[in-house]
């Protein structure tokens, strides 16, 4: 059965491997939730499947659990009321996680890849259910939840599996080594060697609220496919998407004859501090974390028994020097600020531009005029509440709201945030972004991440200062993304160089349907690992290579 | 010039890449010091070059140095008297190391690979000089110093370069990504993307006494070729081999137009505690360490700003169940114990065998008879002092000698150590190995590494207990190597399984010219990273992948 899964998914695997090598366009999971793609009934059935969980006990068996927790409230204004087993006895959980590892190891890379992609198929079959679950935990609007939380997350997971497959198979299973005799006529030394991929141990995946699937699946599948057991510790506010994920994992593992506890759900009450307890366990040798800097830094420093992959926070930056299309630039930036109310680790925050203004096809635009241009783009994009909510989604927690409310006191309010009424969910908290004017002297404001719908327009002496501030801020505080607008090849080259120095990915002159906060699986790396915002990247060799080891045996042969 | 180096060495690079993928036999540097290979004058010239350093100031410029140190004494009984700049001002050293990194990064993988292999060529041209330097710091006999410290070390370095080359080039330099329009007739999204390999920062290589080149070069070249600057901190007792290495690096870097301070020598007085001062510097992002567990564990726990690769110590194990050739088994084990007086991180220490004896072609042999068989093999191998010293070399330090002298009190002395007189170096301390009889109950003795010429024959109830003790000891205390002797396929399979569980490489029924403590570059992995003896392996993907990051930029194209 396991080799049947591998054969079934071989074509998809090969395509993912090829795309990861060429960095050309590929997607294995259609991002359009249209009935033309997924059928007339899929959306309704997925919504019904999601709603069927509400107020129910999720049927997840977590070894060592005691009692239940119910911790989720939709940013659209209602409690989910789903209960999950509360993970308590960490010894029991670790024991159960490890129990199936030997058989999982011995099954080999092909079997594990087959099972892993079959899990992705099962998740894909539930993509509308997942999209609803992501929407009502993260606050993403539905289409974004379907794409970022469903199709794109599946592509990122397949990408991780593809990288792990390449890495596991670059050493052959067996080889014959024959060393010639030192003198002619002597007998050569001839040995047969066997190379086996062995796992590191238990892998811990610590999920976040805003992208419970997209940010958790790459690490989960990279660790699982390389032979490790995976304990999934969701954020208490976004459990359901990962509970469904774990359910699909267990289902396929059991069908293929493996121990379903190779993947377990470790739900908690926020007061349980379960993540830190799990992270220091000696059995835990891999940790994937997405979230705030404080706990990410703590993990990097304290979980020294494990290899730790973190995606934390940073200060994403745009340098505006000049543009050939002012309106398109403003529209592009407005979309990037507005998408999911700026609650993305990739959303731009700091926009540096010369106080004297930037050259455009509409003449020189002062900082105030650039702000007004973006504000006008907001009006076009977000002027209608019913349309606005499909882009903005809901405010995910009170922290975002309070940062937004305090932002106005920190500088000049160029564009104020507007309260939007959600036609379907009147209790949802929906806001448009605000744009705040600062100067280069306001470092104590703009050198801190203000996660949410707050953008700073920061005036500088000139573009050289903008680039310099970009570089120093990212080196010190990190960034997931950067962008530049300039019609000067020289400025773009200078910015490219500064981005290499700062270790951050750069988008140049985005004027159309690509946005700085979006990355495409198989082609764009998400995070670099080269600045303080993240110590890893989706997905490069370093993301998968240390998730397993190779153990060899050798013997003489004739 | 740099692309000329790449072209010049392309064939060697390709052969190393191919061998690393096939794990078949390959060597780029002849291991025979014979005049037929290296010419009639090479050996004499190399010895003269070595002797010319004695008592001299080594012409190495170390930024931030103040005064000199002279810390080396040959285990063959004389002071080297070479003085080196004493590294003192770490700020200045870090600044100088970083100064050339940008140009080194911008040169790209081809140029860096060309320069790196050219450095290996220069070191190869000085292989006899290096062999003398390794001999008179490590205490290895000359031929071993030539092979392990010269030719094989060069192969391990080239292997690391080959792995890094594959890793750096698996992502193309540029790609065009074209996403089809969602609806027929729409315009696709088309972007050009640039991917650049960027270094992590300053790399620190911390050398050891016993294998100053073999254990330092893989990390040094893996870090250098991926764009990092490298600070080489040699063990105070083995500076010269790495001083020569750094000299060759600087020579080629300067010739190719790069900053020679990309590789620096940081010699110290042992009281300076330079390694720990360097290891915690924020500029240091990569650390390669070979040495004792205490400092290795400290590095793994405390140098959390860096990726740390350690090779520490363990308890290497042999399980004897039965053999088809008693004499050959004894000869093979005797060689492994005797080679370099057991002062190898791969030398076997614990030999488990049933108290009732092992089946052989000469009938059942009791543990005492096995010990006597190995003792007889020692007599053949080491009976003649002049021949013995060419295998044993010299005792590297007093710690080894004192452990050897105390070993007899820990159990039954089956074979006593013998003092050997070196015909050429009468002041050298040369000893043959001792074999001590223990039982399974003596865990407090055999579960600790006793680095040096001490082997324990440990009697067990049966082979099942032997395998069980092997597994539990390695899981708890680590091992670099393991071996099994058995004529039973079932026992070998059981041992293979236990070795996978314990995460250690296994040699099966070695009866000829391959020894458990030797590993062949491109084919055998050295260390696994899967047990406490080492967290890394020479060389797998994990050894190179996190030494650099990929930073991308992207832009629309028509």
| Vertex A550: Cα angle to B153 and A546 (nearest 5) | 90
Residue with tokens 């707050």: A454
pLDDT at A558: 86
Q: B524 vs A554: CB contact, 8 Å cut-off? A: yes
A143 contact B CB<8A: no
Mean of the pLDDT values across residues B429-458? Answer: 96
User: Both tokens of residue A517?
Assistant: 């906060």
B520 contact A CB<8A: yes
Residue with tokens 């359009």: A32
Which residues in A lie closer than 8 A to residue B493 (C-beta atoms)? none
Q: What pairs with residue B83 in β-bridges? A: B57
- Name which of A171, A193, A505 is nearest B552 (Cβ-Cβ): A505
A180 contact B CB<8A: yes
What is the chain A residue with the closest CA to B538?
A: A550
Computed over its alpha carbons, how large is the radius of gyration of chain A? Answer: 25
Q: A512 vs B200: CB contact, 8 Å cut-off? A: no
Residues B176-229: tens digit of each pLDDT: 999 998 888 889 999 999 999 999 999 999 999 999 999 999 999 999 999 999
Q: B514 vs A170: CB contact, 8 Å cut-off? A: no
A488 contact B CB<8A: no
A36 contact B CB<8A: no
User: Both tokens of residue A71?
Assistant: 């911790």
Please tell me the distance in Å from A507's CA to the nearest CA on chain B: 5
pLDDT at B1: 52
B271 secondary structure, DSSP code: G
Please, how many CA atoms are within 13 Å of residue A416, restricted to the half-sphere of its CB? 4
Peptide bond into A539 cis (omega under 30): yes
pLDDT at A263: 98
Say if residue B129 is exposed, middle or buried (CB neighbours under 10 Å; 0-12, 13-18, 19+): buried
Please tell me the distance in Å from B551's CA to the nearest CA on chain A: 5
Q: What pairs with residue B288 in β-bridges? A: B205, B309
Distance CA B274, CA B96 (A): 17
Structural contact between residues B550 and A526, judged by C-beta atoms closer than 8 angstroms = no
Distance CA A203, CA A279 (A): 9
B168 contact A CB<8A: no
Structural contact between residues A496 and B540, judged by C-beta atoms closer than 8 angstroms = no
| Vertex B252: Cα angle to B249 and B258 (nearest 5) | 95
Q: A506 vs B552: CB contact, 8 Å cut-off? A: yes
SS3 A235: coil
Cα-to-chain-centroid distance, residue A175 = 38
Q: B171 vs A23: CB contact, 8 Å cut-off? A: yes
Please tell me the distance in Å from A334's CA to the nearest CA on chain B: 19
Q: What pairs with residue B65 in β-bridges? A: B87
SS3 A113: helix
Structural contact between residues A374 and A337, judged by C-beta atoms closer than 8 angstroms = yes
Q: A25 vs B179: CB contact, 8 Å cut-off? A: yes
Structural contact between residues B19 and B25, judged by C-beta atoms closer than 8 angstroms = yes
Distance CA B227, CA B222 (A): 9
Residue with tokens 């999971």: A29
How many Å is the maximal CA-CA distance in chain A?
89
A198 contact B CB<8A: yes
Distance CA A144, CA A209 (A): 15
Mutate to test the interface with B, among A555, A557, A558 (most CBs of B within 10 A): A555
Cα-to-chain-centroid distance, residue A160 = 12
SS3 B304: coil
Residue B3 has pLDDT above 90, yes or no: no
Q: What pairs with residue B436 in β-bridges? A: B413, B456
B181 contact A CB<8A: no
B554 contact A CB<8A: yes
- Distances in Å between the alpha carbon of B202 and those of B220, B301, B548? 11, 19, 11
Structural contact between residues A205 and A144, judged by C-beta atoms closer than 8 angstroms = no
- Name which of B300, B496, B530 is nearest A549 (Cβ-Cβ): B530
- Name which of A179, A520, A555 is nearest B508 (Cβ-Cβ): A555
Q: A172 vs B196: CB contact, 8 Å cut-off? A: no
Structural contact between residues B109 and B89, judged by C-beta atoms closer than 8 angstroms = no
Q: A549 vs B541: CB contact, 8 Å cut-off? A: no
Please, how many CA atoms are within 13 Å of residue A492, restricted to the half-sphere of its CB? 14
Structural contact between residues A286 and A145, judged by C-beta atoms closer than 8 angstroms = no
SS3 B525: coil
**Helix runs in A322-462, H state only:** 326-338, 367-382, 385-392, 398-407, 443-446
Please tell me the distance in Å from A369's CA to the nearest CA on chain B: 25
User: Both tokens of residue A535?
Assistant: 């110590």
- pTM beyond 0.95: the answer is yes
Q: How many Cβ pairs within 8 Å bridge chains A and B?
A: 192
Distance CA B105, CA B547 (A): 13
What is the chain A residue with the closest CA to B302?
A: A301
Distance CA A445, CA A454 (A): 12
- Percent residues over pLDDT 70 in chain B: 100
Residue B286 has pLDDT above 80, yes or no: yes
Which residues in A lie closer than 8 A to residue B530 (C-beta atoms)? 198, 200, 549, 551
Note which residues in 370-429 of chain A have CB less than 8 A from chain B. none
A18 contact B CB<8A: no
pLDDT at A2: 61
pLDDT at B197: 98
Q: B182 vs A520: CB contact, 8 Å cut-off? A: no
The answer for A503, left when phi > 0, alpha when psi is -120 to 50, beta otherwise, is: left
Closest listed residue to residue B290, CA positions, set B535, B548, B541:
B535
How many CB atoms are closer than 10 A to CB B40? 9
Structural contact between residues A114 and A3, judged by C-beta atoms closer than 8 angstroms = yes
Q: Which strands form A548-556's sheet, in the order they lie side by side?
A: A174-179, A189-199, A548-556, B506-508, B482-485, B317-320, B350-354, B454-460, B434-439, B412-415
Q: B537 vs A549: CB contact, 8 Å cut-off? A: yes
pLDDT at A5: 97
- Name which of B182, B508, B553 is nearest A496 (Cβ-Cβ): B553
The answer for A185, left when phi > 0, alpha when psi is -120 to 50, beta otherwise, is: left
Closest listed residue to residue A194, CA positions, set A175, A218, A221, A216:
A175
User: Both tokens of residue A138?
Assistant: 């993260």
A108 contact B CB<8A: no
For chain B, how many residues are written? 558
Structural contact between residues B138 and B393, judged by C-beta atoms closer than 8 angstroms = yes
- Name which of A167, A530, A542 is nearest B198 (Cβ-Cβ): A530
- Distances in Å between the alpha carbon of A270 and those of A274, A400, A548? 8, 18, 32
Residue B397 has pLDDT above 60, yes or no: yes
What is the chain A residue with the closest CA to B23?
A: A175
Please tell me the distance in Å from A475's CA to the nearest CA on chain B: 12
B180 contact A CB<8A: yes
Distance CA A453, CA A443 (A): 19
pLDDT at A1: 52
Structural contact between residues A381 and A331, judged by C-beta atoms closer than 8 angstroms = yes
Q: B506 vs A189: CB contact, 8 Å cut-off? A: no
Mean of the pLDDT values across residues B158-178? Answer: 98
Residue with tokens 């006999």: B141
More confident residue, A338 or B313: A338
State the DSSP H helix or E strand holding residue B195, giving kind and residue range, or none if neither. Answer: strand B189-199
Say if residue A235 is exposed, middle or buried (CB neighbours under 10 Å; 0-12, 13-18, 19+): buried
Which residues in B lie closer than 8 A to residue A189 (C-beta atoms)? 512-514
Which residues in B lie closer than 8 A to residue A523 (C-beta atoms)? 175, 177, 193
Peptide bond into B539 cis (omega under 30): yes
Handedness of CA A29, A31, A36, A40 (dihedral sign): positive
pLDDT level of residue B558 (50, 70, 90 thresholds): confident
What is the chain B residue with the closest CA to A532?
A: B305
How many CB atoms are closer than 10 A to CB A65? 21
What ipTM does this complex have?
Answer: 0.97
How many CB atoms are closer than 10 A to CB B235? 24
Distance CA B466, CA B460 (A): 6
User: Both tokens of residue A533?
Assistant: 């915002």
User: Both tokens of residue A180?
Assistant: 């010639």
A553 contact B CB<8A: yes
How many CB atoms are closer than 10 A to CB B37? 11
Which residues in A lie closer than 8 A to residue B511 (C-beta atoms)? 556
Domains observed in chain B:
2-174+195-312 (3.40.605.10), 317-508 (3.40.309.10)
**Helix runs in A80-193, H state only:** 90-99, 101-125, 127-138, 142-146, 152-169
Block mean pLDDT (10 aa), chain A, length 558: 87 98 98 96 98 97 97 97 98 98 98 98 98 98 98 98 98 97 88 98 98 98 98 98 98 98 98 97 98 95 97 95 98 98 96 98 98 98 97 95 94 97 96 98 94 97 98 96 98 98 98 96 97 96 98 96
Which residues in B lie closer than 8 A to residue A545 (C-beta atoms)? 540-542, 545-546
Which residues in A lie closer than 8 A to residue B180 (C-beta atoms)? 25
- Residue B342 makes CB contacts below 8 A (sequence gap 6+) with B349, B433, B451, B452, B453, B454, B455
Q: A175 vs B523: CB contact, 8 Å cut-off? A: yes
pLDDT at B2: 61
What is the chain A residue with the closest CA to B547?
A: A542
Q: A524 vs B500: CB contact, 8 Å cut-off? A: no
Closest listed residue to residue A390, CA positions, set A346, A343, A339:
A339
A24 contact B CB<8A: yes
Q: B198 vs A555: CB contact, 8 Å cut-off? A: no
SS3 B328: helix
Please tell me the distance in Å from A84's CA to the nearest CA on chain B: 34
Which residues in B lie closer than 8 A to residue A182 (C-beta atoms)? 32
Which residues in B lie closer than 8 A to residue A537 (C-beta atoms)? 549-550
């Amino acid at each position: 059965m396991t080799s049947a899964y591998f054969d079934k998914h071989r074509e998809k695997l090969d395509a993912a491997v090829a795309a990861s090598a060429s960095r050309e366009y590929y997607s294995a999971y259609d991002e359009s939730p249209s009935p033309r793609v997924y059928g007339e009934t899929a959306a309704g059935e997925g919504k019904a499947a999601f709603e069927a969980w509400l107020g129910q006990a999720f049927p997840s068996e977590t070894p060592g659990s005691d009692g239940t927790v119910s911790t989720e409230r939709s940013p659209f204004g209602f409690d989910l009321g789903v209960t999950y087993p509360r993970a308590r006895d960490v010894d029991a959980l670790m024991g159960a996680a490890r129990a199936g590892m030997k058989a999982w190891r011995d099954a080999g890379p092909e079997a594990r890849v087959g099972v892993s992609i079959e899990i992705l198929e099962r998740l894909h079959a539930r993509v509308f259910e997942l999209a609803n679950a992501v929407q009502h935990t993260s606050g993403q609007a539905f289409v974004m939840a379907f794409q970022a939380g469903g199709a794109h997350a599946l592509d990122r997971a397949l990408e991780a599996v593809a990288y792990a497959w390449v890495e596991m198979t670059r050493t052959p299973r067996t080889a014959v080594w024959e060393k010639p005799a030192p003198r002619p006529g002597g007998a050569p030394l001839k040995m047969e060697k066997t190379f086996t991929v062995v796992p590191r141990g238990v892998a811990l995946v610590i999920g976040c609220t805003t992208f419970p699937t997209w940010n958790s699946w790459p690490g989960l599948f990279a660790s699982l496919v390389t032979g490790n057991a995976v304990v999934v510790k969701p954020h208490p506010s976004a459990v359901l998407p990962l509970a469904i994920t774990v359910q699909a994992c267990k289902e396929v593992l059991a069908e293929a004859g493996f121990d379903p506890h190779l993947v377990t759900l470790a739900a908690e009450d926020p007061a349980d501090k379960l993540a830190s307890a799990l992270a220091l366990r000696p059995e835990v040798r891999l940790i994937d974390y997405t979230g705030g800097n404080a706990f990410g830094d703590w993990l990097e420093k304290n979980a020294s028994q494990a290899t730790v992959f973190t995606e934390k926070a940073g200060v994403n930056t745009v340098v505006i020097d000049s543009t050939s299309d002012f309106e398109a630039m403003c529209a592009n930036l407005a979309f990037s600020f507005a998408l999911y109310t700026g609650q993305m680790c990739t959303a731009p925050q700091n926009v540096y531009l010369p106080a004297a203004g930037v050259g455009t096809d509409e003449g020189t635009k002062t900082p105030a005029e650039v702000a007004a241009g973006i504000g006008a783009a907001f009006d076009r994009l977000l002027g209608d509440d019913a349309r606005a909510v499909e882009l903005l989604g809901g405010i995910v927690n009170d922290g975002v709201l309070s940062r937004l409310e305090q932002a106005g006191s920190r500088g000049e309010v160029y564009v104020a945030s507007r309260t939007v009424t959600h036609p379907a969910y009147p209790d949802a908290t929906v806001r448009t972004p605000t744009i705040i004017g600062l100067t280069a002297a306001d470092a104590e404001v703009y050198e801190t991440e203000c996660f949410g719908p707050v953008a700073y327009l920061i005036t500088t002496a000139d573009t050289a200062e903008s680039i310099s501030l970009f570089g120093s801020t990212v080196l010190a505080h990190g960034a997931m993304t950067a962008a530049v607008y300039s019609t000067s090849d020289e400025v773009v080259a200078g910015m490219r160089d500064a981005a290499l120095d700062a270790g951050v990915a750069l988008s140049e002159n985005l004027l159309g349907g690509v946005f700085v906060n979006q990355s495409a699986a198989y082609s764009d790396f998400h995070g670099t690992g080269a600045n303080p915002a993240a110590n890893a990247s989706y997905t490069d060799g370093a993301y998968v290579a240390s998730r397993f080891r190779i153990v060899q045996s050798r013997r003489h042969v004739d």
